[in-house]
Amino acid sequence: MARPMCESCGMPLKDEVKGTEADGTNNDKYCLHCYADGAFTAPNATVEEMRHYSIKGMTESGWPRFLAKFLTKNIGKLPRWQKADTSVP
């Protein structure tokens, strides 16, 4: 079984970072940075914006920038971004 990851930003989805529903229960698909209180924190974000945001968050947490860029390269392939046609430049 694959390790769970956020279907929006791709970060590992441990219990302590799971998003929350409006009733306070955990959401098993998204992390708390992407999804809180039953809604996306940035409902109109594009893949590029999400990637930019993720890289920023990772480098601020001490990750090297090249590694953050590498690890966020496939964000556009995550389930959240498959329905909307946001991959076209």
- What's the min distance (Å) between Cβ of 13 and Zn ion? 8
9 binds Zn ion (CB under 5 A): yes
Q: Which of residues 17-46 bind Zn ion (CB under 5 A)?
A: 31, 33-34
Give every CB contact of residue 46 below 8 A, 6+ residues apart in sequence.
86
19 Rama sector, left if φ>0, alpha if ψ -120 to 50, beta otherwise: beta
68, 53 in Cβ contact below 8 A? Answer: no
From 6, 45, 55, 78, residue interacting with Zn ion (rule: CB under 5 A): 6
Residue ranges in contact with Zn ion by CB under 5 A = 6, 8-9, 31, 33-34
